[in-house]
A and B are shown apart, each in its own frame.
Chain A
Amino acid sequence: MLKISGWSLIRLYTILIYAFMFAPIVVVLVLSFNPEQFGSFPMKGFSLRWFVKLAHNEPILHAFKNSLILGSLTAVFSTAVGILAAMAFVRYEFPGKNTLNTLLISPIMIPEVILGVALLLFIRWLQQPKSFALLVIGHVVLTLPYVLLIVQARLVGIKREYEEAAMVLGANALQTFKEITLPLLTPAILAGMLFSFTISFDDITATLFWATAQNQTVPVKIFGMLRNSISPEINALGTVMIILTIAAPLLAGYLSRKFAKGA
């Protein structure tokens, strides 16, 4: 009897923690459909009013475009650099391997404020203005450690033997890469790109240092809007962001399964 009640307490506690974690998300989703002028309770019906208003908000659409381009460029560069480094760590033995691995991953623990100031000081010294390129470079530095961690975990499973078998059977280096290595790498590449895209798309702190009035991303825009007060439009924008960031991993999961079947 005691065992059962102890376990149900643990289960109840866990459910409460889930409620805590999801409360802010659920509240945004619910409030974004409130037609009221002020984004707060009580709910006075169900309306898409704020989504329609959002769709006509030029500055936000512009920020969305910026965020998408920035996220995509970050994903490409960060994953390319990350995959190469991960191959070195997974495939080869060389002196200082563990130290270098820790060195490349440790930026995760450096506060974004420090990264923000550091890169800004650096381009100031180079006498360059803040630009979109700075955002891309900054976001690659921010996402690289995560990409390296994710991709490395995926790559461990790919055995050297597959490639050697292809070579023995008469494939040349290019064929081996195209037929064996690349298909095996695809899930790792997708995971890396998805991860870096999401981190870049969501990033706020470092981006606040690097963004200019022309290069605002969606989170920077939201941050600016919050200075006035919390409007229902922000909740609607939040709903769009939540749906996007949940849909993206699901889509990637679906695609990678499709790839796996096709192979």
Chain B
Amino acid sequence: MSDGGRRHRVARAEEVAEPGDRVIVDVGGQEVAVFNVDGDLHALPNFCPHQAAPLCEGDLTGRMVVGEDGWSWEYVQRGEVVTCPWHGWKFDVTTGENVKDEAVAVPHYEVERDGGDVVVLR
């Protein structure tokens, strides 16, 4: 959380102005990605806990779930899921959790807009 976290000015707000935008920046020696998901900013480390891939260079996608009818496959969370470019593991950008196993997760950092700057709290 923000308490105790350090504030890092990492980008200009216009770099992640639109849903789907992302920037990958250096925060204290660690690569961190800032994503715009439906107007809100989220930051994850650019690191996959599976085999250390650059997770946040993968596609922003959705994910498949079974519909309430028990039959249909529905595609949900469009633009909220980053898919690792190496092995396809999917993480919810808004929480850092793997979409299929919540025990597998990356840190999720809060992000603020401060004036024209993007600030990562980490």
Q: Is chain B found bound to chain A in the same assembly?
A: no
Q: Which residues of A contact B (CB under 8 A)?
A: none
Q: Which residues of B contact A (CB under 8 A)?
A: none
